[in-house]
Each structure stands twice: as C-alpha cells, then as structure tokens.
Structure 1
C-alpha cells in the first residue's frame, strides 16, 4: 500500500518557512542592536574649562583626541557618580544634563549662578552650598534624599514633590518660604539665617529636628507637638504660634538662639 507523502511535504515546507522567519527576526534584531551601538556621536560644548577638565578624569573615553565631548557616549549615559567638583572655581555645570544616571553631586564652594538638574532624575544627594544660586528647581528630582543648598541667594524652595527627602540644609540664604507637602520621611530641617515668614511642618510626621533660628522677629513656626523631638528657635518668637507652647508643655526639647534650653513659659 502506497503511503501518502504529501502531508509530510507540507509539514516540511511549513517548518522551513518558520525557520526562515525566525532567522530573519534574529538578523533584524542583531542589525538593530548594531545600529544602536554604532549611533553617530553627538558632540556638545562644555563651556566651563574647569568642569571640562574634571570630566576628562571621570569619562576620558567621551572625549576625542582634539578635545570634543561626545554627549551620547555610553560612559556618560551610564555614569552613576559620584560627581565631586567641590572648590574647583566652576561657574557653569552646563553639560551635566547628559549624565542621566548620576546619583550624587557635590558642586559646593564654586561660583555657580545657575544649576539645571532637571534631566538628572536619578540624583539622590545634592550638595550645592556656597555658590551664587538665586533659584533652585528640584521638582524633577523625586529620588532626592538629601539636599544641602546653604549659603546661596535662594529666596524660595519648593519641595512638595520630593517625597523621598530625609534631610534639608538651607541656612544662610534669603529664603522667605519653604513649600512642603507631607514629605513622609523628612527627618531634619536646618534653615537658620534666612527671612522665613511662615514655616508649617505640622504635616511632616517623621520630622525629628527643626532648626530655624536667626530668621525674622515675626516668623511663625507651626509644628506638630506630638511628633517633633527638638526645636531650635529665637526666644522672642516662641509665642508667635500656640503649637510651640504645646510642644514645650508636652516635654519637647526647645532651644533658643544660642542653643540654650528655653524654660516653660506663658504667652500673653
């Protein structure tokens, strides 16, 4: 009896087609990967010579023999830090936006007027104190854990979106307002030597220590007496809001301008 060979032939043809399709897909993927790896270099200017010199030490492969900076080089895109340019007489960090994986930045003690870190969304620690900043936008830096922007000329700070922030140091600015949300893990605020009008930390239930000495005579501090542990204020503002007295009466640690203990008091 003759066997029907047609089903076998059909099966073989189907197998061949599947194999061809599979091989084509693999070749396409490999080709795409190769194109991705061989993207043409994108050159960018690094206007500050001191910053450019520093970058050559951390991502040397991102510079051509004639000193051009390749902004899309893999060593730049993947660089996680830290980036420490403390005290290097830098006036501009233009070019930092290409370091999208950067986690820690220390640019303290320079002469920086503007700092754009909106593209550096992986940042967890920023130290930019002792510069000449008048504004600082960290609204895109939602992974931020610690911020030190002390001794600048900043007038306002908006930290509503920085829900991972645990510590804020901003002393010695011209700050009139610090905008806070719940900031559920914020534990410490150090903001003396500013011009704060009102600071409401009543919703910051994780806050342990607040230091806001040397602000205005009419500064109003609103605290959560049940959560806060230590509070440093000028003695003359202790009656500017009833929550301060409640905090003291509940056994909270209340200190004055010179870190002296403020005794129990009565507000008129």
Structure 2
C-alpha cells in the first residue's frame, strides 16, 4: 500500500508542473500601465515656438507619433520637446499626437491635441505698417483679416508717408496689394519700397510710387493703366509694353539706361529726364505732346514719329544736332547744355520759347512764320556772331550773353522786358523803341555810348566794364528809382532835357 500511495503522490507531483505551465499560458492577468501627460493639449502661436510635453508612466518605454510635418519632436528625460514651425498661412492648423507607454508586449496610449494659430493678416501683408493700415482701413468685421469681400470694396489707397506725422512709419513692402483686385488708384509715394509688383491688376488706372527706393517695378498686364508716376527711385529699367491705355508717364531721377516706348496711341506726356539714358526709341505715339528726356547721355534723338510734339526738353545731353523741322505744333524747345553747332527753327511756325544756351551754335535761325508768337529766347554761351530779333514784336525775354556778337539788332521790340547781352564784342547797340524794357545788362562789351531815353519802363541797368563815354537818360528817369551800374556813373550819365 505504501508503495502505491507514493507512486500516486509521485504521479501527482509529476503532473503538477505541467498543469501550472498550461494555466500561465492561457490565463495570464493583463498588466495595468499608468500613463499621464501634461499639458493635455498643446496650443502654439503662429510664430516658431517650442513647448515641453511632460510624461509620467511606470512603463519602461515611451514613444510618440511623428505624423505632423510642421512639428519637430525630440525626446527628453521627462517627455518630449515639441517645436512648431512658423505658420505663414492665413488659417490655423491642427492635428493629434499619440503617446505610447510600452511594457513588454503591453502598451497604453493617450492622444494629445495640437493646434497652431494662423498668421492671419500677417500672412496677407508681411509688412507691419502696411498690415496695420489695411486692418484700420478695410477690416470691417474686426476679425483681424481682410476678406476678399472687404478687399473688393476698395477702389483707392492713399499710403503716402508724411514725415511730420507721428502716427505713421514708412512701408517697406506692399506684398499682398493684389488682394485688392478692384483697385483703381494707388499712391504709395514717400515710403521705403525696394520693389513693387502690380502685375495683373486689371482695374488699375493711377499709380504714384515716387520717392521710394525702387529697383524694380512690374506694371505688366494692367490694361487700364492711364497715369504712372515713378520719380526719384533707383530703377534701371521701365517696361511699359503691356500698358496700352497710358496717357501720362513720369519717371525722372532714376537710373534707366535705355528706354523704348511704342504703340501708345493715347500717350500725351512723357518725362524720363535725369536718368542714365544712352538710347531712347519712341514710335507709334501720335498724341505725344510733351517729351522731356533732359539730363541724360543721349548722343542722338530721333523724333520723326512724333508729329504733334509741342514741348521738347532734351537739355543736358551730348547731342551734336537736333532736327525739329517736322514739328508744326512745337511751342517750346529746351536744348541747352549740349554740343549742337547749328539750330534751325525756321520751320517751327508756332514756336514761342527757345532755350539753347551753352552749346556750340554758330548759326541760329529763328521761326520765320507767325513771328508774333516768339516771346522767350535764351541763346547765351554759344558762338554767335550776329543776331537780329527786330521782327519779333512780342519778344519779352532775350539772353544772348557770352557769345561772339559784333552785331545785335533789337530795336522796335516794344514788349521786351528782360535783356542780357553781356560778354560779347559789341561796339554799338540801338535800344530805341524798347518801351517795356525793365532789366538790362550789357557788361563786358566794347560800348562807348548808350541811350536809354526810349526805355521808359527801365528799372535796372548794368553796363560795367565797357569803355563808356556817355549813357543818356531822361530827366524823368533821373528822378525815378532807376539803378545804374557803370564804371563811373557821375561823369558818364547824361540827361536829355527833352526828346
């Protein structure tokens, strides 16, 4: 009996381990893992920002999903460092991160909501001052954004900087301006813009971007553009090829080296003076009446396709000749400070004002038709030897100083008010009939006698550095406030008692 019980016992003992192993495999109790995070949600501003997500757990491993491209996640001793990259979009963005606590083959999870604000108006208008002004002017609902509906109501923007204003600072960028797709008039002068892109603004009619720091200006695909002011910038080129409706262009004081304009059938005014032009081509602009290309480096000027030009400024260039014979409407010509040797204005019937000083002109032919229109002639600083203006009855101003004149005829010019003939070789000068003459200078000539008796309106006379023996005036002139400068007034000035 004893042997059977042991055996049973032995049998029982032998089978116990097997029974225990089988129970462990199929009936193991799940492991409970503690997991908590702080904060439970992550909220970022639109700027680049870093926050810490603290994790508490009794698990041996902690992991986190990396499924949001705008987050940079790094593991730390206490959890995770989470960096949100700057959100340059207008709208906010969000996502979910999942934290895993792992112990063996068991794990616990928690979801963490992540949000980041949108850039709002900053995305629309990166420049702080431009953004402030747009929100102030256009944000009707006060939501900190300019909706398309709000932008579409804007037809005019006055962004001129006033240096005396304490409420404004300069604008450095107009990025976002195209949101205002119905904009017709834009004045952004006197700011600090370095570039301006207005391309495709199909309703734009007027632009003034003068007095900035512009090196580039894009006005392409603006079919309704009528007027452009781009003065005093640093532009090296100006492309107006896509602006067919243009009527007025002003772009003086820039750095433009070449300029071409064609097929602007309504263009009436162009000022591209004070640049660095070595070439200019204008064609297909039949209505161009005013052209100013002065203060450049032009050596030639082709005006043959401008039949209705009435005002031409080509001063301070390097021109050796200029042909204005085909301009029946020309009223004013300014071609001073060039290298012109001969100037023929005889075929300019409507010319009233000419300023051709400081050239090399040896022959000057003034208009031969409608002589009564000529009122202003400045031809000083040339090489003229003779000049006759007696056939121009309405001439008011004549300056022919610093020439080589030995013959000068002005008698009968009853409307002449200002007359200068200094630094010539004149030995005689007839001033008869100059009843309107007010100011007269004839210094540095060879005059021995002058008579002012018919110059009833005279106020100032300067005849210094002449070998004058007599200067005749009337008693009335003597008693008036007539100012006379000669080398010896007392012995030279003589009074005519009666005419």
Q: Where does residue 127 of structure 1 map in the other structure?
A: 208
Q: Which protein, 1 or 2, shows the higher relative CO under an 8 Å CA cutoff with sep ≥ 6?
A: 1
Deviations 1:140-196 (A, max 9, x none): 111100000011111111112211100000000001122312100000001110011
Is 2:146 the counterpart of 1:70? yes
Is 2:127 the counterpart of 1:51? no
SS at match of 1:201: strand
C-alpha separation between the residues in 1 aligned to 2:127 and 2:216?
20
Is 2:355 the counterpart of 1:261? yes
Q: Is the 8 A contact 1:199 1:222 kept in 2?
A: no
Give the alignment of 1:1-268 within 5 angstroms: 43-44=120-121, 45=123, 46-61=125-140, 63-64=142-143, 68-72=144-148, 74-81=149-156, 83-87=157-161, 88-218=169-299, 220-224=301-305, 226-234=307-315, 237-240=318-321, 244-247=323-326, 250=328, 252=330, 253-257=332-336, 261-262=355-356, 263-264=364-365
TM-score, normalised relative to structure 1: 0.73
Matched residue count: 217
Q: Is the 8 A contact 2:299 2:319 kept in 1?
A: no
C-alpha separation between the residues in 1 aligned to 2:320 and 2:151?
53
C-alpha separation between the residues in 1 aligned to 2:141 and 2:185?
20
TM-score, normalised relative to structure 2: 0.40
C-alpha separation between the residues in 1 aligned to 2:181 and 2:239?
22
Farther off after superposition, 124-133 or 250-259: 250-259
Q: Which runs of 5+ in 2 are unaligned?
A: 1-89, 92-119, 162-168, 338-352, 357-363, 367-499
C-alpha separation between the residues in 1 aligned to 2:181 and 2:281?
33
C-alpha separation between the residues in 2 aligned to 1:60 and 1:70?
6
Distance 1:55 1:231, change over 3 A: same
Distance 1:119 1:63, change over 3 A: farther
Deviations 1:48-79 (A, max 9, x none): 12112211232122641xxx32342x121231
Farther off after superposition, 103-112 or 44-53: 44-53
SS at match of 1:222: coil
Return the offset for 1:221: 4.3
Q: Is the 8 A contact 2:135 2:146 kept in 1?
A: no
Return the offset for 1:80: 1.2
Q: Where does residue 34 of structure 1 map in the other structure?
A: none
C-alpha separation between the residues in 1 aligned to 2:257 and 2:209?
19
Deviations 1:70-100 (A, max 9, x none): 342x12123112x011114100111211000
C-alpha separation between the residues in 2 aligned to 1:158 and 1:220?
20
C-alpha separation between the residues in 2 aligned to 1:264 and 1:236?
21
Deviations 1:182-232 (A, max 9, x none): 100000001110011222224210000101110015253434353211101
C-alpha separation between the residues in 2 aligned to 1:210 and 1:175?
16
C-alpha separation between the residues in 1 aligned to 2:134 and 2:316?
48
Distance 1:77 1:235, change over 3 A: closer
C-alpha separation between the residues in 2 aligned to 1:186 and 1:176?
21
Higher Cα radius of gyration = 2
Deviations 1:82-120 (A, max 9, x none): x01111410011121100000000000000011121242
Distance 1:235 1:135, change over 3 A: closer
Distance 1:213 1:62, change over 3 A: farther
Deviations 1:8-32 (A, max 9, x none): xxxxxxxxxxxxxxxxxxxxxxxxx
- Over the aligned positions, Cα root-mean-square deviation in angstroms equals 2.5
Return the offset for 1:136: 1.0
Q: Which runs of 5+ in 1 are unaligned?
A: 1-40
